[in-house]
């Protein structure tokens, strides 16, 4: 405890500066709404206040959401605030972690860039992207504790490392690469022959978790077909890996085209060759640093290793998604920070040789983690960092505005992802909510054209036709939606509503029963079933259905009123 207090006292200026950076760039995101996956998983999820929510998702993130709902209901500020605090936690851990590898100012430079980089907004500003930032925090804490345990022999630090690793896995299954990172660390800086026993528990937990994930693979593949509408396929790694890695590097060094859907993955032969050359050059750089500086070899390899779970050829991940690189980006940020410092050192030596002053002591208070600034850097490196942080911070603040609500997100995504069927489906939703039904139909049809298996787009197109009074077209598209995704209980429910309005009660009964089979815990569906039974003159079944609706939701006012109606009252 005394050691921690001493460290906090020595680094209070750096910690204050990093805290300021994080909240300065994410302050304008606190008023944002629930968007995209946040809506079905949180704001419109009837089970969010029940323990069933945690049991269904089986993750630490689900527990955090459940507890947040218990205290703050459905205020999106508090769901997002936990992301920001954990991002700050990762920033501070990075500052501490990098200090084991590099002298000041590299740790502070790395943490500062990580704090404000816009590529990370998807994992911080977007509530549903939180598993990546949350899992990364626990992985980084585990790594820091592991190194401390190795350096000091502390069993408490080692136990903390193992516990943090488990918490990381409970947030995000892609943390399974962490033991490989520890093994690389031992190979580069330790003695594997003596330290291999330390690695055994991590690999043991990893094998157990991999077996668990393997058991879920079938469900994951089925979900890709029925929920994400991706046909089973195989990604050629010779195409996938160079494109993915160079795309991530491009987004780190030039974060202009940030988007939820990186759909523009078609390249000409010349473009692909250029990316392949860039990828090979990156690998060669890593290999070169193996001999020149194992610290940089480690961190550049860290970038690659962290992305491995998303680079599988089995088509179970997007080729590129910004949230995937939240953890791995640190490796590149370390390299950038080292480069800035190296520029400062080289220029400093040149200035000294020419007898020019270069001190920054008056601008750099002690305790920032910068240390003997006059001997390690100069005004050039300070200016580079300042400009870099200002530009990155400005871009992050602008990107936060894209996540403000559904409308802003889909409009922003439309600019960067014109060939994304998901984006056209979402654009259709945007136009539909704003009353432009003809334009909504156009967007939904475009989504279906890009992905003929897209059940959600068929369902939304049917909804729009229903709003336009075109019942037969609505029926046709609801049926198409169900042919690709039998789990769309909303399509069954809406078909039942159309048939009910047409007085085709037997067909309505059949469809609402299908909806209940798909979603058996939905109180509203049982209420609708009771209404249909009433129309069919089956009072006992109507009563049973309404009682079941109240059993699922004791606050179901419609079910209560129907049970008191003359046809059902005792």
Each of the 570 residues of the chain gets a pLDDT tens digit; together they read 667 788 888 899 999 999 999 999 999 999 999 999 999 999 998 888 888 888 777 788 999 999 999 999 999 999 999 999 999 999 999 999 999 999 888 999 999 999 999 999 999 999 999 999 999 999 999 999 999 999 998 999 999 999 999 999 999 999 999 999 999 999 999 777 777 889 999 999 888 888 877 766 666 555 555 565 666 567 788 999 999 999 999 999 999 999 999 988 889 999 999 999 999 999 999 999 999 999 999 999 999 999 999 998 877 788 999 999 999 999 999 999 999 998 887 776 665 555 555 444 434 444 444 444 444 454 677 788 899 999 999 999 999 999 999 999 999 999 999 999 999 999 999 999 999 999 999 999 999 999 999 999 999 999 999 999 999 999 999 999 999 999 999 999 999 999 999 999 999 999 999 999 999 989 999 999 999 999 998 989 999 999 999 998 888 899 888 888 877 765
What tokens does 76 get? 């999106």
| Residue 411: inside a domain | no
Considering the domain architecture, whether residues 233 and 254 belong to the same structural domain is answered as yes
Considering the domain architecture, whether residues 482 and 568 belong to the same structural domain is answered as no
Considering the domain architecture, whether residues 226 and 236 belong to the same structural domain is answered as yes
DSSP output for 350-415: HHHHTT-----GGGS-TTSS--SHHHH--HHHHHHHHHHHHHHHHHHHHHHHHTSSHHHHHHHHHH
CA 11 to chain centre: 31
Considering the domain architecture, whether residues 461 and 514 belong to the same structural domain is answered as no
What tokens does 460 get? 């939304």
Considering the domain architecture, whether residues 115 and 129 belong to the same structural domain is answered as yes
* Residue 127 structural domain: 2-339
| Residue 387: inside a domain | no
CATH number at residue 441: 1.25.40.10
| Whether the Cβ atoms of residue 316 and residue 305 lie closer than 8 Å to each other | no
Closest Cα partner for 351 from 327, 381, 322, 328? 381
Considering the domain architecture, whether residues 111 and 128 belong to the same structural domain is answered as yes
Considering just the CA atoms, what is the radius of gyration of the chain in Å? 28
d(CA 495, CA 474) in angstroms, rounded, equals 8
Considering the domain architecture, whether residues 77 and 108 belong to the same structural domain is answered as yes
| Residue 34: inside a domain | yes
d(CA 201, CA 190) in angstroms, rounded, equals 17
Considering the domain architecture, whether residues 310 and 425 belong to the same structural domain is answered as no
| Residue 388: inside a domain | no
Closest Cα partner for 226 from 45, 482, 476, 547? 482
What tokens does 234 get? 């195989």
Can you give the pTM of this predicted structure? Answer: 0.89
| Whether the Cβ atoms of residue 74 and residue 41 lie closer than 8 Å to each other | no
Domain boundary among 291, 317, 339: 339
| Whether the Cβ atoms of residue 310 and residue 174 lie closer than 8 Å to each other | yes
| Residue 398: inside a domain | no
Angle at 17 between CA 11 and CA 20, to 5 degrees: 140
What tokens does 221 get? 């593949």
User: How many folded domains does the chain comprise?
Assistant: 3
| Residue 376: inside a domain | no
Considering the domain architecture, whether residues 95 and 175 belong to the same structural domain is answered as yes
Domain boundary among 436, 466, 486: 486
Domain boundary among 282, 304, 339: 339
| Residue 367: inside a domain | no
- 3-state SS, 424-441, equals HHHHHHHHHHCCCHHHHH
Considering the domain architecture, whether residues 199 and 277 belong to the same structural domain is answered as yes
| Whether the Cβ atoms of residue 140 and residue 90 lie closer than 8 Å to each other | yes
| Residue 371: inside a domain | no
Considering the domain architecture, whether residues 18 and 156 belong to the same structural domain is answered as yes
Considering the domain architecture, whether residues 452 and 332 belong to the same structural domain is answered as no
């Amino acid at each position: 405890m005394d050691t921690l207090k001493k460290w906090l006292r020595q680094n209070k200026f750096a910690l204050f500066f990093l805290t300021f950076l994080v909240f300065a760039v994410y302050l304008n995101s606190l008023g944002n709404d629930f968007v995209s996956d946040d809506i079905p998983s949180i704001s419109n999820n009837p089970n969010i206040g029940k323990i069933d929510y945690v049991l269904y998702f089986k993750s630490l993130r689900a527990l955090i959401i459940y507890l947040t709902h218990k205290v703050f209901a459905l205020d999106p500020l508090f769901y997002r605030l936990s992301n920001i605090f954990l991002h700050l936690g990762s920033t501070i851990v990075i500052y501490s972690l990098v200090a084991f590898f590099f002298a000041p100012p590299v740790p502070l430079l790395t943490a500062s860039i990580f704090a404000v980089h816009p590529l990370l907004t998807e994992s911080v500003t977007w509530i549903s992207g939180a598993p990546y930032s949350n899992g990364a925090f626990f992985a980084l804490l585990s790594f820091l504790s592991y190194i401390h345990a190795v350096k000091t022999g502390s069993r408490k630090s080692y136990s903390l490392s193992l516990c943090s690793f488990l918490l990381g896995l409970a947030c995000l299954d892609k943390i399974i690469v962490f033991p490989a990172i520890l093994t690389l660390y031992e190979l580069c800086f330790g003695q594997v022959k003596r330290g291999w026993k330390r690695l055994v528990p991590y690999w043991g937990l990893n094998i157990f978790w991999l077996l668990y994930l393997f058991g879920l693979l079938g469900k994951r593949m089925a979900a890709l077909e029925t929920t994400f509408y991706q046909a089973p396929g195989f990604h050629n790694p010779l195409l996938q890996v160079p494109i993915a890695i160079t795309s991530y590097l491009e987004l780190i060094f030039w974060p202009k085209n940030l988007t939820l859907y990186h759909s523009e993955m078609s390249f000409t032969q010349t473009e692909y060759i250029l990316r392949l050359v860039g990828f090979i050059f990156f690998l060669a750089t890593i290999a070169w640093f193996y001999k020149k500086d194992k610290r940089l070899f480690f961190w550049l390899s860290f970038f690659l290793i962290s992305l491995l779970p998303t680079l599988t050829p089995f088509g179970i991940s997007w080729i590129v998604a910004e949230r995937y690189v939240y953890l791995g980006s640190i490796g590149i940020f370390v390299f950038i920070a080292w480069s800035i410092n190296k520029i400062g050192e080289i220029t400093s030596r040149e200035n000294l040789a020419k007898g020019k002053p270069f001190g920054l002591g008056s601008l750099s208070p002690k305790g920032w983690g910068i240390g003997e600034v006059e001997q390690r850097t100069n005004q050039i490196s300070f200016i580079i960092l300042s400009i870099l942080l200002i530009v990155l911070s400005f871009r992050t603040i602008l990107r936060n505005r894209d996540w403000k609500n559904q409308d802003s997100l889909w409009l922003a995504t439309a600019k960067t992802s014109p060939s994304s069927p998901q984006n056209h489906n979402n654009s259709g939703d945007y136009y539909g909510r704003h009353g432009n039904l003809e334009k909504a139909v156009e967007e939904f049809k475009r989504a279906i054209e890009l992905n003929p298996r897209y059940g959600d787009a068929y369902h939304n197109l049917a909804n729009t036709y229903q709003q336009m009074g075109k019942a037969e077209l609505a029926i046709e598209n609801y049926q198409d939606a169900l042919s690709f995704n039998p789990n769309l209980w909303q399509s069954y429910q809406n078909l039942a509503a159309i048939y009910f309005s047409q007085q085709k009660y037997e067909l309505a009964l059949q469809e609402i029963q299908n909806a209940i089979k798909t979603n058996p815990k939905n109180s509203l569906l049982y209420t609708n079933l009771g209404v249909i039974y009433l129309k069919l003159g089956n009072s006992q079944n109507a009563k049973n259905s309404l009682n079941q609706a109240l059993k699922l939701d004791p606050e179901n006012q419609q079910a209560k009123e129907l049970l008191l109606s003359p046809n059902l009252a005792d």
